[in-house]
Amino acid sequence: MPALTSLREGLKAGQVRALAKAISLAENDPGAGERLVAELGPPATPAFVLGITGATGVGKSTLIKALIEEALKSGRRVGVLAVDPSSPLSGGALLGDRFRMVLPDVSPDRLFIRSLSSRGHEGGTSRGLGVGIRLLRHAGYDVVLVETTGAGQCEFDVVRVVDLVCLLLAEGFGDELQAMKSGLMELADVLVINKCRRPGTEHLRRDLESHVAHSSRFAHFGLLPPPVLLTDGLSGEGVPELWQRLATLHQDAAYRTASGRKRQHLARYAALTTVLDRLKGRLLARLGDLPINGDPTAGLENQIRQWLLEACRVEEKEKR
């Protein structure tokens, strides 16, 4: 790890490599990352931070590529943070989002893409994400796109760190009752039916619009019901309209107040769970070091005791 002073200087000089190293610091040592961004102060320019979430394979990365192109067209500098899950078996990860966001002629100065492993965090994001967003903003990226892990119902942490959340759905999602369930569905600012050229899209649109129009959940918390938009990320169909709609919502002061209310509710929830999360990444990094007894039919009690002891050792170290 480079000395903090050279990291600070590199950030000040706008070096891409320093930014990348600073994001690593936020991932590896969230406390140190927090201290670093606190020192940097507030970013000089306003930014638009957008979260893209939805199930595995629904087209998040591909839609993000299309949104990047829209943002670049309007002269913005774009930062992307794309989270993929870490393995509960090895702690490793295959980070495959940027694979679909290839824009060969755009330099990192205008488009900075960074893949993050969730490192055991289960809310669809990673612990370093919030600091990563602030680092990108500080470096002058005025559009920041966040891609969550594949997300269904419980992975809603992204809502806390972005301005707006797009929930991507596609034909096959299910009926109105699925839309009535708690979690992500009640927190998204915009519902997007992606892969909209598939048959079944219109049916889903009717179900979602009917749900949005008749549900009391939005009004109860002072929220505005989300619009339902159609896109096809691969061909770009509907993407300029989505981008426009998002930009308009982002500028809307009344909407901001309403979504601030949502954030208050979520912050209360988050405050209670932060403590538990803190240790998780550290513990997961030890996963591969803890041997598993070769005999799968042997009782697990002894092994579990040893693993717990190791976990306690890490916890003790963290406390100090």
Partner 1 sequence: MSTSPVRILVAKVGLDGHDRGAKFIAQALRDRGYEVIYTGIRRTPDEVVNMAITEDVQFLGISSLSGGHRLLCPKVAELLQARGAGDIVVFAGGIIPAGDIPALHAAGVRAVFGPGTTVDQIVAFLKETRAGSDVAA
Which CB atom, from 90 or from 273, has the smaller least distance to partner 1?
90
Tokens of 193: 């039916």
DSSP letter, residue 137: H
Which CB atom, from 241 or from 318, has the smaller least distance to partner 1?
318
What CA–CA distances, in Å, run from 137 to 46, 48, 53, 264? Answer: 8, 9, 20, 23
Cα dihedral 42, 48, 53, 57 in deg (nearest 10): -120
User: Nearest approach, Cβ of 72 to partner 1 (angstroms)?
Assistant: 15
Q: Give the SS3 label for residue 44.
A: coil
Q: Does 17 bind partner 1 (CB under 8 A)?
A: yes
- How far apart are alpha carbons 135 and 141 in whole angstroms? 9
DSSP letter, residue 77: -
Among the listed residues 241, 2, 37, the one whose alpha carbon sits nearest the alpha carbon of residue 138? 37
When binding is defined by CB under 8 A, the residue of 9, 12, 14, 16 that contacts partner 1 is 16
- How far apart are alpha carbons 219 and 174 in whole angstroms? 24
Tokens of 281: 């990444």
x/- mask, partner 1, residues 67-106, rule CB under 8 A, reads -------------------xx-xxxxxxxx-xx--x-x--
User: Nearest approach, Cβ of 286 to partner 1 (angstroms)?
Assistant: 7
Of residues 282 through 311, those in contact with partner 1 by CB under 8 A are 282, 285-288
Which CB atom, from 226 or from 281, has the smaller least distance to partner 1?
281
Q: Does 112 bind partner 1 (CB under 8 A)?
A: yes
Q: Does 21 bind partner 1 (CB under 8 A)?
A: yes
Q: Does 20 bind partner 1 (CB under 8 A)?
A: yes
User: Nearest approach, Cβ of 95 to partner 1 (angstroms)?
Assistant: 5
Q: How many residues bind partner 1 (CB under 8 A)?
A: 38
DSSP letter, residue 271: H
Which CB atom, from 289 or from 295, has the smaller least distance to partner 1?
289
Of residues 180 through 239, those in contact with partner 1 by CB under 8 A are none
> Helix 30-40 vs helix 129-138: angle between axes, to the nearest 10 degrees?
30
Residues shown for the chain: 320
Q: Does 279 bind partner 1 (CB under 8 A)?
A: no
DSSP letter, residue 108: T
Q: Which residues bind partner 1 (CB under 8 A)?
A: 1, 16-17, 19-21, 23-24, 27-29, 86-87, 89-96, 98-99, 102, 104, 107-108, 112-115, 117, 119, 282, 285-288
